[in-house]
Amino acid sequence: MNRRALVVGPVLAMLLAGCGSGAGAAAPEPPASSAPERTGAASPSASAPVPVDPGGATPAGALLVADFGGDTVTFLHPERGPFASVRVGTAPYGLVVGADGRAWVATAEGVAVVDTRARKSLGRVPYRTATGPVTDGEYRGGGMGIALSPDGRRVYAGVNVPDGPGVLEVIDTGSLEVTDVVPVGRRPFDVDVSPDGREVYATNHDSFDVTAVRADSLDARTFEVAPYGTEGGLGSWLKPHYAAVRADGRLLLPFEGERLAVLDPRTGRVSVERMTANTHQHGAALAPDGTLLVVGTGPIGSDDAEASLTVRAKDGTERVIPLDGPHEDVAVSADGGTAYVTGGFTRDGHWNGITVVDLADGDARRLPGGERPLGIAVLR
């Protein structure tokens, strides 16, 4: 076993619970802000705002990022940078956008709803689960991973409850109410839905597992996913972060640029395949052709490589594209030719912008915008 078998000791005290260390359904809250949208004000380091007709529709292909370091989501043109932002609530983490143009944003205060075409807030759905005082930072309570059912009728938000197991809250997108709450593991970093919509998967960072929830009955099963073992507990770096769901229903969970855990939720079996980036990994996404994109955040040990984007073909062959500095999550263009990698990062070292990667030739360029952006979506 190599040095990744246990990465604890000096880091344990500062890492504690992380990657590095109740009433009935409520009506949606009023919009997060009654003020007009803020245009081009997402970050002090952002590039000059792109002129946009305030009454015009958001162009297809624009990017939407969750500003984890603030209280907004930011709209970016993929060539020219930020052009608008909308307040959503404290420390937005993950987001997902439906075919109707509504974005659902997991914040510390509830799930915010944004009309991305008109660039305005539609309110916020408070969590049914108590998550403590509203705070920011990696360990704050509230929503983390978030996903939308294929038919657009339900949103699934993974909610962190500090110092205990998290929950999966189910929101009816028509009534804007929380209809169900399902216990899951600790700190649900990511939430995904099976291609047929029959199951929902919460990737639970601090409990080394994935909870599979049936969409109809809400019956839940939990599978340990720990290719390095669970030694070190809450102080370990070697936990699951994000997953991508293949067309065959299997979940792909990258670890440390060395191992890809492949979970079959029908049997609970986990197989492990080799990876080649040798760096701490977070965000994952699938391109339309099944290519897996994985974000390497940078080293956690002295023999680790720097930040990168792994491009893994369906046959398992990989290209590793260097990135400049830490990154967190990734989205891919509709044609599968471009990856957009957020620079927010859950730990220190984040920066305000995204890296745009041409997947054909590996060229990468930084695009300033957002405020510690984490979740990202490409608008259709």
Domains in the chain: boundaries: 65-378
Among 24-28, 61-65, 180-184, 276-280, where is mean pLDDT lowest?
24-28
Of 3, 2, 9, 1, give the one whose Cα is nearest residue 232: 9
What pTM was estimated for this model as a whole?
Answer: 0.89
354-380 pLDDT, tens digit per residue, is: 999 999 999 999 999 999 999 999 999
CA-to-CA distance for 349 and 372, rounded, in angstroms? 10
The amino acid occupying position 110 is G
CA-to-CA distance for 84 and 101, rounded, in angstroms? 16
Q: Do 45 and 352 form a contact (C-beta atoms < 8 A)? A: yes
7-33 pLDDT, tens digit per residue, is: 444 333 333 334 654 333 344 444 443
CA-to-CA distance for 74 and 119, rounded, in angstroms? 10
Choosing among 1.10.3720.10, 1.10.10.60, 2.130.10.10, 2.60.40.1730, the CATH entry for 65-378 is 2.130.10.10
56-82 pLDDT, tens digit per residue, is: 889 999 999 999 999 999 999 999 999
Provide the strand spans (E) within 277-372: 280-286, 292-298, 308-312, 318-322, 330-332, 338-342, 353-358, 364-368
